A and B are shown apart, each in its own frame.
Chain A
Amino acid sequence: MSGNSSLYKYTWRLPLLIWQAAFFVVPLIFLVVMSFWLVKNYRMQPDFVLKNWDKMFSRGYFWDAYWLTLGRAALASVIVSLIAFPASFALAFKVSDTTRRWAIFFLIIPFFTSYLVRVYAWQVILAEQGVINALFGTMGIGPVTMLNSGFGAMIGYLTLTLPLVVILQTFSLAAVDRNLIEAAWNLGCGRARTILSVIVPSAKIGLILGAVFCFILSFGDFVAPYYLGGSKPPTLSILIIDTTKSGQQWPRAAVVAICMIATLFTVAFAAIALAYGKPRK
Chain B
Amino acid sequence: MKSLIKPTRRAVLAGTAAVLTTPYLNRAWAADPVEINMLAWYGHGEPDMVEEFEAMHNVKFNSKYYAGGDNMLALIAQSPPGTYDVILSDGEFVQQLNAAGYIEEMDADDYDFDDFFPEFQNFPGHWKGDELWSVMVRYGLLGVSFNTDVVSHKEAMSYGVLWDEKLKGKVGHFDWHLPSLGQISLYNGNDDPSPFDIDEAAWEKLQETTMSLRPQVGGFFDYGGTFSNLKNGDMHAMCGIGDWITGVLRKDGAPVDSVIPEEGGIQWTESYSIGKGTDKGEIIRDFIQYMLSPKGQVRSIQMAAYPGLSPTKSGWIAIQQENHAEAVRSGLIGGVDNSPIKMIQEGRIHFRDIPQQQDLEDWNDFWSEYKNA
Q: Please name the residue on chain A nearest to B72 by beta carbon.
A: A42
Question: Which residues of the partner chain B approach A220 to less than 8 Å between Cβ atoms?
Answer: none
A59 to B229, CA, bound (A): 30
Q: Does B233 contact A (CB under 8 A)?
A: yes
**Cβ-defined partner of B68 (8 Å) among A226, A232, A245:** A245
**Cβ-defined partner of A65 (8 Å) among B68, B219, B372:** B372
Q: Which residues of chain B from 323 to 370 have a CB within 8 Å of any chain A CB?
A: 360-361, 364-365, 367-369
Q: Please name the residue on chain B nearest to A231 by beta carbon.
A: B220
**Cβ-defined partner of B233 (8 Å) among A65, A129, A231:** A129
In the bound complex, do residue A127 and residue B219 qualify as a contact, i.e. CB atoms below 8 Å apart? no
Q: Does B218 contact A (CB under 8 A)?
A: yes
Given contacts A61-B371, A61-B372, contact A43 B77 (CB under 8 A): yes
Q: Does B169 contact A (CB under 8 A)?
A: yes
Q: Does B54 contact A (CB under 8 A)?
A: no
Question: Which residues of the partner chain A approach B229 to less than 8 Å between Cβ atoms?
Answer: 147-148, 230
In the bound complex, do residue B369 and residue A61 qualify as a contact, i.e. CB atoms below 8 Å apart? yes
In the bound complex, do residue B219 and residue A247 qualify as a contact, i.e. CB atoms below 8 Å apart? no
Question: Which residues of the partner chain A approach B175 to less than 8 Å between Cβ atoms?
Answer: 231
**Cβ-defined partner of A233 (8 Å) among B100, B172, B222, B372:** B372
In the bound complex, do residue B73 and residue A248 qualify as a contact, i.e. CB atoms below 8 Å apart? yes
In the bound complex, do residue A129 and residue B232 qualify as a contact, i.e. CB atoms below 8 Å apart? yes
Question: Which residues of the partner chain B approach A229 to less than 8 Å between Cβ atoms?
Answer: 219
Q: Does A60 contact B (CB under 8 A)?
A: yes
Q: Which residues of chain A from 106 to 136 have a CB within 8 Å of any chain B CB?
A: 120, 123-124, 127-130
A52 to B10, CA, bound (A): 78
Given contacts A60-B372, A128-B233, contact A42 B74 (CB under 8 A): yes
Contact with B along A202-230 (1 / 0, CB 8 A): 00000000000000000000000011011
Given contacts A123-B232, A128-B232, A148-B218, contact A232 B371 (CB under 8 A): yes
Cβ of A247 to closest chain B Cβ, rounded Å: 6
Q: Does A80 contact B (CB under 8 A)?
A: no
**Cβ-defined partner of A242 (8 Å) among B172, B232, B371, B373:** B371
Question: Which residues of the partner chain A approach B219 to less than 8 Å between Cβ atoms?
Answer: 148, 229-232
A147 to B177, CA, bound (A): 23
Q: Which residues of chain A from 61 to 110 have a CB within 8 Å of any chain B CB?
A: 61, 64-65
Q: Does A239 contact B (CB under 8 A)?
A: yes
Q: Please name the residue on chain B nearest to A55 by beta carbon.
A: B365
**Cβ-defined partner of B70 (8 Å) among A127, A226, A247:** A247
In the bound complex, do residue B234 and residue A127 qualify as a contact, i.e. CB atoms below 8 Å apart? yes
A61 to B365, CA, bound (A): 9
Q: Does A5 contact B (CB under 8 A)?
A: no
Q: Does A246 contact B (CB under 8 A)?
A: yes
A64 to B361, CA, bound (A): 20
Given contacts A231-B219, A233-B373, contact A147 B234 (CB under 8 A): yes
Sample (17) of A-B pairs whose CB atoms are under 8 Å apart:
A41-B73, A43-B77, A43-B78, A61-B369, A128-B232, A226-B222, A231-B219, A231-B371, A232-B218, A232-B220, A233-B371, A234-B371, A234-B372, A239-B368, A244-B74, A246-B361, A248-B77
Counting from the closest, the 9 A-B pairs by CB-CB distance are: A230-B219, A246-B364, A61-B372, A248-B74, A148-B219, A127-B232, A231-B220, A42-B77, A42-B73
